[in-house]
Amino acid sequence: MDKSCVIYQNAGNIIDQYVGYLSCAYAEVLQELGYNVLLIDLAADVKILTESLIKALDSRPVFFLGIHGYASDLQAGDGQSLYDHYQIPLLALCIDNPMIYHRSMKNESRFTFWGMYDKADVDYAVKYIHPNKNYFFAPNAGFSPVVPLMPLKERDYDIMFCGTIWNPEELKNKWANLKIPYINALCEAMVDMLLSDNRKSLIEAMEEALLYYGIVSFKGAGTGFHDILNVVSSYVRGHHRTALLKCLAQAGLKVHCFGPKKHLEKLDHPNLVIHDFLYAREYLEALGRSKIVLNTTPNGKYSITERLLSAMMNRAAVATDINDYIERCFTDNTSIIGFSHKDYKALADKLSYLLASPQKLEEIAHNGEEAAKKNHTVRHRAADLIAVAETGRLLLS
């Protein structure tokens, strides 16, 4: 009998513009690997959804895949987790930090495996969310080009940034307004540590801050502390992204910024050309029209972003801050443009030099493309997921 697997989607969820694209990319690769793939839309009518699930279960799938943790809470008629009842693994892939998923991870299910894109997040989940869950390291993958790639010299955007810019002060108000005595001090201490050391993970900063203030655990703040940590993480990202773009603009570099306009327009600089938010396919097309793509992974300890890898696979040169995983993957420094958040002026000088040295820029872009294709495609990650599902099923059945 043919092997089958199930991939969840949620057409009614705005975030599915990314999740849906990733789901389809996995579906295509898994089909090439010999799987019969059934896509189930969680936004469908209840009757249709039920019929789809029954059809899926009749095929005895090898695993379910729920990107963004989709359908991790489904139950069988006996009240058990659907995946425990049928002893079929659910691979719940996180596309954000584990604080986003802490409520879902509390669900009792032996056969749910949570994939974290940062190894430090595995430590956090074990220590602070649920110690007896199945977690695994699931780094991001890069997307292949959707249109033929044009030569670097013909591309429209010298420098591209794609992402959300938060107002750091508005985020700070979220923890300051809680009026819980030690929360404000803890958050301020974490922010100071994270801004001063890009390689310090969020969990490391949290534990150092707790130790400094003599707090044994954060249980006094309840599960809400997970949400507070997520705000701290967003603050650091917002601070770094804002400072980076402003510094490059002030240095005379034109940066094309794609994302929610209401946030980006607040940066208000003539060298920052603001474009609207892009859906997945348009975003990939824009990567293929860019010479240099900016990437930030502030306080990612052992992780890599999809943006970095997709930009490389679309043959753009990537300027990125460095963490332990990126350093391990790209050891020779000929395939990336590394920078430190402590010296944006040095990055501005480097980018100006490279834009004036097209041959050198082409070399970096070519090397990056080759490195990403070699180890970081959806096909590579799909093979890892298959191994997790098959091993987990044998161990738990």
DSSP summary character for residue 20: H
Task: Find the helix packing angle between 344-355 and 224-250, rounded to 10°.
Answer: 50
Same CATH topology for 3-141+378-391 and 152-375? yes
Domain ranges of the chain: 3-141+378-391, 152-375
Percentage of the chain with pLDDT > 70?
A: 96
40 phi, psi to nearest 5 deg: -115, 125
Q: Which fold would CATH assign to domain 3-141+378-391?
A: Rossmann fold (3.40.50)
Do the Cβ atoms of 274 and 177 come closer than 8 Å?
A: no
Residues 253, 259, 262, 268, Cα dihedral to 10°: 0
Q: What is the CATH code of the structural domain delimited by 152-375? A: 3.40.50.2000
Average pLDDT over the chain reads: 91
The CA–CA distances, whole Å, from 387 to 61, 346, 367, 384 equal 14, 43, 29, 5
Question: What is the total residue count of the chain?
Answer: 397
Do the Cβ atoms of 84 and 111 come closer than 8 Å?
A: yes
The CA–CA distances, whole Å, from 243 to 168, 336, 342, 352 equal 11, 21, 10, 18
Output the pLDDT for position 16.
64
Contacts of 125 (CB under 8 A, 6+ apart): 98, 105, 114, 116, 133, 135
Q: How many CB atoms lie within 10 A of CB 388?
A: 18
- pLDDT single digits (tens) 257-288: 999 888 888 899 999 999 998 988 999 999 99
pLDDT at 17 over 80: no
DSSP summary character for residue 71: T
Helices (H), the chain: 16-32, 46-58, 82-86, 102-105, 119-128, 168-176, 181-196, 202-212, 224-250, 261-264, 280-287, 306-313, 324-329, 344-355, 358-375, 378-396
pLDDT band at 198 (very low <50, low <70, confident <90, very high): confident
DSSP summary character for residue 98: G
Do the Cβ atoms of 297 and 279 come closer than 8 Å?
A: no
Q: Which residues pair with 161 in a beta bridge?
A: 257
- pLDDT single digits (tens) 77-121: 888 999 999 999 999 999 999 999 988 998 879 999 999 999 999
Interatomic CA distance for residues 99 and 223, integer angstroms? 10
Arithmetic mean of pLDDT, 41-47? 90
Say if pTM beats, i.e. exceeds, 0.85.
yes
Interatomic CA distance for residues 246 and 267, integer angstroms? 7
